[in-house]
Amino acid sequence: MKSHKCYDLIPTSSKLVVFDTTLQVKKAFFALVANGVRAAPLWETKKQSFVGMLTITDFIIILHRYYKSPLVQIYELEEHKIETWRELYLQETFKPLVNTSPDASIFDAVYSLIKNKIHRLPVIDPVTGNALYILTHKRILKFLQLFVCEMPKPAFMRQTLEELGIGTYSNIAFIHPDTPIIKALGMFVERRVSALPVVDVTGKVVDIYSKFDVINLAAEKTYNNLDITVTQALLHRSQYFEGVMKCYRHETLDTIVDRIVKAEVHRLVVVDDNSSIEGIISLSDILQALVLTPAENSCKLIKL
């Protein structure tokens, strides 16, 4: 991972949307939907530099913070510019944009994503200052599977989730089919999770509501009524939904990586034989196990 560079991950053709911070928040979210992207770097003309990212999480925070009722327009979404929203939300806690260069190693990119608890890492050319690409856990894992498959697989790939202790198995955030959207948004904000399994009265996982599904509220222009249930909201999914991608604790890491890459999802719900929820395994968990943990272990061995 230290020999491969971020440049190797950049496709020959890809779409990158950049927003000026003077753009209206509402127009920016509509532009995300129209271009089929989940995030965009923010350019501040005064500073002549990239200052942050606008993501679906911002949309969720705005809705959660300012929604009153279906009868009251969300002024902050309708009228604010991105720069105004950032000033209100960040309130003097402005941090420099976490980014990487094309020449940085993939190992460094994974380290940066996980340690900063972010899902997107802009690749910025240090010479021109241009944003080239946005690196994600998903892209990195796909690269690992495609281009590193010729290498001998480490022994831990044949171990089970249970043996490796990968994933979250306690205090799992989940919702029910009749949970109102506004409550689900609150859970996204408070629990800092990217998806909420939908569990029925028997404890069985029947669906999943992800942050990405929330952008459909912008696509459908239905964000003024957040009292509807999750089930009602999921009827408006813009993409074909194959069902909840699941796995079991007794399955090997090799099987899990293969399934998550092929399904092109961001997490798997860990269930028991009755499809009752046991835990969640995310792309971040997998990259930690594949890249960072082995590196940390080798460092310990060197010190010994």
Residue-range domain boundaries for the chain: 6-147, 155-292
Check residue 148 and give its pLDDT. Answer: 62
Q: Are strands 277-282 and 267-271 parallel, antiparallel or unpaired?
A: antiparallel
Q: What is the pLDDT of residue 106?
A: 94
Give the whole-angstrom CA distance, residue 120 versus residue 37.
12
Place of tokens 């971040």: 284
Angle at which helices 56-66 and 181-191 pack, to 10 degrees?
120
- Owner of token pair 């890809």: 14
Segments in the chain forming alpha helices (H):
25-35, 56-66, 75-79, 82-90, 106-115, 137-147, 161-164, 181-191, 211-214, 216-219, 230-234, 253-263, 283-287, 293-303
Fold of the 155-292 domain: CBS-domain (3.10.580)
> Residue 1: which pLDDT band, with cuts at 50, 70 and 90?
low
State the DSSP string of 167-195: SB-SS---B-TT-BHHHHHHHHHHHT-SE
Q: Is the pLDDT of residue 76 over 90?
A: no
Q: Which residues contact 83 (CB under 8 A, 6 or more apart)?
A: 21, 22, 44
Model pLDDT for residues 258-277, shown as the tens digit of each residue: 999 999 999 999 999 999 99
Alpha-carbon separation of residue 85 from 9, 52, 212, 283, 286 (angstroms): 32, 12, 21, 29, 34
Q: Hey, which residues does 256 pair with through a beta bridge?
A: none
pLDDT band at 52 (very low <50, low <70, confident <90, very high): very high
The Cα 82–Cα 136 span in angstroms is: 23
Q: How far is CA 166 from CA 80, 273, 282, 299, in A?
A: 41, 19, 9, 20
**pLDDT above 90 coverage of the chain, percent:** 65
Give the span between the Cα atoms of 84 and 88, in whole angstroms. Answer: 6
Which tokens hold the place of 5?
């560079």
Integer Cα distance of 82 and 284 in angstroms: 28
**Which has more confidence, 269 or 67?**
269
pLDDT of residue 304 exceeding 50 = no
Query: Using 50, 70 and 90 to split pLDDT, how confident is the model at 152?
Result: confident
Q: Which CATH number fits domain 6-147: 3.40.50.670, 3.40.50.720, 3.30.360.10, 3.10.580.10?
A: 3.10.580.10
| Length in residues, the chain | 304
Q: Which residues of 201-214 are buried (b: 16+ CB within 10 A; e: fewer)?
A: eeeebebbbbbebb
Look at the pTM and tell me if it is higher than 0.85: yes
Give the integer Cα–Cα distance in Å for 241 and 136: 22
Same fold? 6-147, 155-292 = yes
| Mean pLDDT calculated for residue range 78-92 | 83
